[in-house]
Chains A and B, each alone.
Chain A
C-alpha cells in the first residue's frame, strides 16, 4: 500500500485505489477560546477528531475543556479530492505545533476574538507566525464576538493585517453559526482561487 502523505501537501497523493487524489489542508489559528474548535465543528458538520482535555487555565479562557494538540475533520469533495481541516491549540505553550500543522497548508483561517483586550497584539503575533511559516499561503481573518465589542476597529485590524504586504480579508463571523463559518470558507476559497490564478500566470 502506498505511503499516505500525512502532511497533506496539496500534491497529488496516491490513494488506495491508485488514482490521484488531492488533499487540501486548511489550518485554523487563533488564541485560546476564540472559537477554532467550534468553527471546525460547524464547518465539518460531521465527525471531528479532537484532543480536548480538562482545562486547568480558567483565566486563559473560562471553559471546561481545551484543545491540546489539534482538531481534525475532513470533507470529501465531488471530484474525489479531500479537504482537511485542522484546528490548532491556541495557547502559547503549544506554539511548537503551529509550524507542524501549517506545513503544507493550502489555506489558513486566523480567528480573532474581538472582546479580548490584547486582540491587536495577538493579531500581530499570529501574523508573524504566518509570515514565518506560511507567508504566501492564502489566509482570511475572522473576527468573532463583534457584537460584544462594538468599539473594535475592523478598519485598523485590516490595516494591521495589510502591513504584511498583502491585503487579508477581515470578516466578521460568529464561530457558532454554521452558515457564517461556511461564508468565511467561501472568502478563503476565493483567495485560494485568485492566488492560484495569479501565481500560475503572473
Chain B
C-alpha cells in the first residue's frame, strides 16, 4: 500500500494529490492512503521550498526505504533526490506506486465469494476446518481482514491487530463478511512476510462472542444433542476444567445442553459458551434430539473420585 505523507499543502491540496495518484495508478481508494507518520510512510511529497527540501533530504537520508518527490508550483512531480530531475509522467508515477511495499489491500480480491454472512460463513469454515483442506480470505468491504490456511491450521492478520481486537471485529461485522476461497500460491502472495499464527485460538475467541448464535441456540433449546468430533487443541482450552469435562463427556456420548448441565453440575449458559466456539471451530456437531429422556445418575465412583480430586486441588490452591 502506498502510504503518502504530504507536507506543505493544505487539506484540499493533499486530497487532490492523493486522488491524482490513485487515478494515475488505477489502484483502489484504500491502497493509496494519507499518512501522518514519517516512519510509517512509503512516499514523501513536499511542496517545493528550500526549507522543506533541506529538511526532507535530511529525513529521507535516514530512511532509505522512503521515496521522496517534490511537487512544484505547476503541480508537476519530480524525484527529490538523485540525478533524475525530469518530471514524472503518469507512467512513472504508476510504476513507482505499484512498486511500493505490497500489502493485501493492494491486490483486489478477484476470487469469487464462497460465502457471505454469519450462517454461510460458519458452515463453510466448519467444513474447511474439518477437512483441513484449502486456503481462504475473509474480507470486509472488499478488504482482506484475515487470511486462512486450513492445511497448516494457520492464519495471517494483514493489519497486525491482536486476537481480541480481531475477534471483536469479526463478531461485530459477521453479517458483512465475505469468505473467498483462494489458491495456496495466492495465500502466500497475500501473506508476504507477515507472521503466520495459529488459527484456532482466534476462532475460539471469535466463537465466544455471543452474537450470531441465535439459530444454533434455538436448536440447542430444542434439545439437539451436541457431539464432539475430536479433542480441541489444548492451547485454546487453556486450564478451563469445565471445558475438559464437557469435552470428555461429549466425545463419548452426544448430550443436550440440559443433560450436560445436569450431569456435570454446570450452568446451561456455561455449556452454550463452550458449544458456540466448539461449533465454529468444527470440533462439535449437532444431532437430533432423542425421543425419550435418558437419565444418567452422577453418583458413581468416577464422578466421586473426580469431585474428591477437585476438592484436593482447590485446597492446595489449584
Using CB atoms and an 8 Å cutoff, list the residues of chain A in contact with chain B: 10, 22, 24, 45, 75, 77-79, 81, 83, 106, 154-155, 158, 162, 166-172, 179, 182-183, 185-187, 189-198, 200-202
Contact = CB atoms under 8 A, between A and B. Distances in A.
Given A186-B241, A193-B248, A200-B300, A78 B306 contact: no
A-B CB proximity, top 10 nearest = A196-B302, A194-B248, A193-B306, A201-B296, A77-B308, A190-B248, A190-B244, A194-B249, A189-B306, A190-B245
Given A77-B312, A169-B247, A201-B296, A189 B230 contact: no
A168 B230 CA distance: 9
Say whether chain B's binding surface is mostly helix, strand, loop, or mixed.
Answer: helix
Contact of A10 (B239, B252, B301, B310): B301
Contacts of A166: 252
Interface in B233-269: 233-235, 239, 241, 244-245, 247-249, 251-253, 263
A79 B306 CA distance: 12
Interface of B: 153, 230-231, 233-235, 239, 241, 244-245, 247-249, 251-253, 263, 294-298, 300-306, 308-313, 316, 318
B234 A169 contact: yes
Nearest to B301: A196
A167 B230 CA distance: 7
Which of B294, B309, B318 neighbours the largest number of chain A CB atoms within 10 Å of its CB? B309
A113 to B, nearest CB: 17
22 contacts: A10-B301, A22-B305, A77-B305, A78-B312, A158-B230, A158-B231, A167-B231, A168-B231, A169-B231, A169-B234, A172-B235, A186-B239, A186-B244, A193-B305, A194-B251, A194-B302, A195-B248, A197-B296, A200-B297, A201-B295, A201-B297, A202-B294
Contacts of A186: 239, 241, 244, 309-310, 313
Nearest to A201: B296
B308 A78 contact: yes
